Amino acid sequence: MKACLVFVLLALLGAVAAFHKVAPEVDDISLPAATHVSALRGGKLPWNAPFRGMVCKLPPHTGPCKAAFWRFYYNAAEGVCQPFLYGGCQSNGNNFETIEQCKQACGDKQHFPIRPRPYGQPRMQA
């Protein structure tokens, strides 16, 4: 059990490192307090809003290993969870075993509120 918890924690840390590669202009990224190992018990990850936003914006990452597992990642541009092939190691965090886990962690476009139009923008005509 401890090995699994350590693996999950390392995966979360890897996601932060991968995010720095994708968005180097972001200076201050830290893990949320809830990512302490004791918070990972019970099978649920501590997805708080700032960390979830970072992970969900990462691209799918197959990794260098040669296995082939179907997983799901959140496609931030489309606003939906999509399948991809995962090699079995070095996940960046945007990697979920089921589409339900992906939606729970990152959401999907049907749950996003409609943003109000900026002041002064004309309404779209149907």
CATH assignment, 2-111: 4.10.410.10
How much is the pTM? 0.50
pLDDT digit of tens for each residue in the chain (126 aa)? 455 444 544 555 555 455 445 554 444 444 343 333 333 334 445 545 556 678 999 999 999 999 999 999 999 999 999 999 999 999 999 999 999 999 999 987 754 444 555 666 666 555
Cβ neighbours of residue 80 under 8 Å, at least 6 residues apart? 74, 108, 109
Which pLDDT score, from 0 to 100, does residue 44 have? 47
H/E segment holding residue 7: helix 2-22
- The residue ranges of every structural domain in the chain are 2-111
Tokens standing for 76?
């931030």
Would you list the DSSP string of 62-124?
A: --SS---EEEEEEETTTTEEEEEEE-SS---S--BSSHHHHHHHH--GGGSPPPPPPTTPPPP
Cα angle 91, 93, 97; round to 5:
80
Which pLDDT score, from 0 to 100, does residue 121 have? 62
Q: Is 11 helix (H, G, I), strand (E, B) or coil?
A: helix
Cα angle 15, 18, 21; round to 5:
155
